[in-house]
Structure 1
Amino acid sequence: MFRYTRALKLGDRGQDVREIQERLNTLGFDAGLEDGIFGESTRQAVIQFQRSKGLTADGIVGPSTYTALMGVGGKAKILINLSERKLYLYLDNQLHRTFPVAIGKPSTPSPTGTFKITEKAPNPGGVFGTRWMRFYKDYGIHGTNNPASIGRAVSNGCIRMYNQDVNYVYSLVPIGTEVNIVSSQSTDRYYVVQAGDTLFSISQKLGVNYDALLRENSITDPNMIYVGQKLLIPR
């Protein structure tokens, strides 16, 4: 997900510094502006983080500090249920956390299907809040300047999150992450994939048409299902 390329210290600049700053701020260690400049605020935040992990508190992001800071989780996947207005974050095929979201209003609905994160931007500001993650055309997952809207169908089609929640997801989700958006009207229409399952065995177990199961979940590669994945059961 993240890649260590060099030790980072006071005075360094670059995208890798910005990633460190974003991660520190997400975890509650105040690194100041996420500007890609390793200043004193960032150094102090690194020291505080190192102390919290029992590492040498030298303010330098070497291999051990980098691994402790950035090595959280595993391969990420996102499932968004429009009916539930929930975002499910999976790491290494295991459900990690669930978040409330706002979705598109009836006149501008959120798209459904399987997509991928194609762009990430910190601090877009305004209605986009603190983070932006594009997944399809002009649609994205982002923060908000109106937290009261979360849990409602009020957006122009994007997926809104509380800023603290989108900050967390952003820190764990690289470009290329799969985003699956479904519009189930009932939670009892789900099947959670178990170890040893295949799509064919699931279709047989549930007595549903195999091709319909593929279509309902926008699956193009039947070999890519994973343990913990929530599949929508065709009616």
Structure 2
Amino acid sequence: MYYQQRTCPTGTTPYTIRAGDTFFAISRRFNVSLDALIAANPGVDPDRLFIGQIICVPGPTPPPVSPCPTLRLGSRGPSVTQLQQLLRNAGYDPGPIDGIFGSRTQAAVMAFQRDMHIAVDGIVGRQTWTALGVNCGITPPPTTCPAGTTPYTIRAGDTFFSLARRFNTTVDAIIRANPNVNPDALRIGQIICIPRA
């Protein structure tokens, strides 16, 4: 049977069970006693936790979950659903959008990684999420662009040609504004300067 606790009492914070979680590991991670964790979750069997199950953790708010969790074959949940939708939007077939990282999703990830020239390992980490257009909370280093230009962060599929069309300028103008940038070796997350029309 699957227990879903939706609201947590004052003084506790909701936490969603992930693969490998145990009450002991959660109590250590959030620095609370095992007894306090069990007491905060009456009706939850610590020996029968389910991925996606929500429990209540006593004490301060737990650290936020990364918007870019590491996913691999066997992963499940809403992050996998998001990944599958992003792959499909990018033209890769992850199979059914079901929140289960199976072999078809892994094959789609590897094809995407190959096309984006990033490590082809079938594991979705920060680099693959970023290539899919997800902001992983990394603030890129500031780039000083000359007057008359605007900083722009390279995303998957960008070329100087596509950027020139999007920003109503020319490829030559973008090349002049970025003398140290190789237009044939753009990297996702790289910051370039776009001339203003």
Q: TM-score range by the shorter chain?
A: 0.3 to 0.5
What TM-score do the two structures reach when normalised by structure 2?
A: 0.33
Higher normalized strand content (fraction of residues)? 1
> Which has the greater radius of gyration?
2
What TM-score do the two structures reach when normalised by structure 1?
A: 0.29
